Structure 1
């Protein structure tokens, strides 16, 4: 089900976790905008909603393609929902950039969160599922989502942006939680 309670047509796939090689390498550019891509996007939405996420990159379900889906609020709390294929992220320049510190988490590192500063505004250029060019602007949580999901497609997790000691402690807590689960 999506945020509005509507049933999502798609197959739920298991989420891949930190350490899985597919999460730690850049994804391939999508070249075919076809029914297989449309099925992947439906499956990604179904998987994201089943995991109670607000965004999901294709590699989080084991598909190494540059695609992400999202359903999250912007700074006005209005829910935005969509898909971006082959995203390119544009952030404000250093002099115009406002950083927002927020406790960030990830479906691929379940149960863990860490404070991470990111720009409060992001523009993402890419394509929709049919291959039409799109440009989307994100503020608030939506901006963070665009940045987080684009990082996934580059083979980075949010924990890779943390200082070394904080990252190490978070990974130790994650491993401990898996052992005791």
Structure 2
């Protein structure tokens, strides 16, 4: 019994904080939805696809992709980390079960994005909350930069029809 307590305690120390975050996300995600996300510092999308190509007052943007060809066509050639994430995605239109969502935010350089929660909002619709990390309180900057969160969704009910991404109170909707 003592040995088990020591092992559990050692694992808790070794994973310091990681376990809590996994439990938080798991508790806030429908069980029939598999999710993987990756934060990318910068803009992996080509001109015409990113938040930079929206009107100045729009600071949150979302895009969706159902095929590898469409996703790769929207990526900059030098976006190696994003391309690797896309390569690992089994897209719906390519015979797989996943769709890719790209959530972007214009914000201060020290901000990072993290997947917060996912919930169903109706038939075939999802709401994804993205958290800002790295800073506390309101963040304003005269020279905002692009922050990107890649989200791979596999839904046992089939791909969602519509997704609303919420980052710091701003929302962006996308039809999948």
**Per the shorter chain, which TM-score range?**
under 0.3
Report which of the two has the higher share of helix.
1
Higher RCO (C-alpha under 8 Å, 6+ residues apart):
2
Which structure's CA Rg is the greater one?
Answer: 2
- The structure with the greater share of residues assigned to strand is 2
TM-score where L is the length of structure 1 = 0.25
